[in-house]
Amino acid sequence: MGRQPCCDKLGVKKGPWTAEEDKKLINFIITNGQCCWRAVPKLAGLRRCGKSCRLRWTNYLRPDLKRGLLNDAEEQLVIDLHARLGNRWSKIAARLPGRTDNEIKNHWNTHIKKKLLKMGIDPVTHQTLQKDDPNSQAPKDKDHRHQLLQADELPAGSSDHHVVVVPAPAVSTCSSSSSSSSSSSSQTDDHQNMNSSDESCCLGINSESSYENDPLISFLFRDTNDLLNFNDDTWEFPFSDQDLDSFCNKSWEENCPWLLDCQDFGVHDFGFDTQCFNDM
């Protein structure tokens, strides 16, 4: 998928990356780490601009990337964060481990926008759409999974009637896996019917206690008031110093077990073992 390869006047290649180029880039970064991106193509033997190398690495080759569609819990988090931050995809991506801003942006534009419209929510303002709005198909079910709450602190340009979609708190059971079907109608229904146990299931969480020990996950799911009080300008990394020390002393497999799912591409595919990334 992508564009046809081409070169500009300076002989810099554009278009889709080949496996050979990927291998060169990965090999270089594993050996040298991420340094001056401008120097990377020259040193790695690539006819690409540094920007292209950086993008390829951060959006596709990084070993800590999750693959596949966003699950319902991640999607809900994106909606919540978007209500707070607007189109600041990098800020949103920073709160979703293993996801890139580009991925989230694409997912928003192709899936979530439509889903919100079907739910009767304006994807730009997060306001409920007017009832006489032909685009509005808001559900009337009072058991609707999401609570539409009045926000007291909202992005610039928001109106007095701005609402934020907030996920229900996670509970302790996990009954069935939820689908991330791309079918918009069934997807909406699933979304509305999915209970909070499904949500925790989506992140591989079996119970509240099971993620209490994971500082990042527990941060993501702790009191939703945190989301309402979220202030991007003063936000700090949610780990305590102790957590951070613990994190740094573990391998990436221990800290990020979902990365093991990525091993069939991006690491072992290129002849590297996971030790390479521990060394990094």
What span, in angstroms and rounded, lies between the C-alpha atoms of 197 and 204? 11
Total residues at the site for DNA (CB under 7 A)?
39
Here's the x/- map for DNA, 62-81, by CB under 7 A: it reads as -------x------------
55 vs 138, beta carbon nearer DNA: 55
Shortest separation between residue 18's beta carbon and DNA, angstroms: 8
Candidates 9, 10, 20, 36; binder of DNA (CB under 7 A) is 36
Residues 6+ apart with CB under 8 A from 209: 172
DSSP assignment letter at 57: I
Candidates 101, 122, 198, 199; binder of DNA (CB under 7 A) is 101
8 A C-beta contact, residue 199 and residue 171: no
How many C-alpha atoms does 233 have within 13 Å on its Cβ side? Answer: 1
**Residue 169 within binding range of DNA, rule CB under 7 A:** no
What span, in angstroms and rounded, lies between the C-alpha atoms of 188 and 78? 16
**Residue 257 within binding range of DNA, rule CB under 7 A:** no
52 vs 197, beta carbon nearer DNA: 52
Concatenated DSSP letters for 11-25? --EESSPPHHHHHHH
Q: Which of 99, 43, 41 is nearest to 69 (CA)?
A: 99
**Residue 111 within binding range of DNA, rule CB under 7 A:** yes
Here's the x/- map for DNA, 114-153, by CB under 7 A: it reads as ----------------------------------------
Give the pair of three-digit tokens for residue 121: 């929510």
Q: Which of 139, 217, 221, 149 is nearest to 185 (CA)?
A: 139
Shortest separation between residue 211's beta carbon and DNA, angstroms: 26
Contact set with DNA (CB under 7 A): 1-4, 8, 13-17, 36-38, 48, 50-52, 54-56, 58-60, 69, 87-91, 101-103, 105-107, 109-111, 182
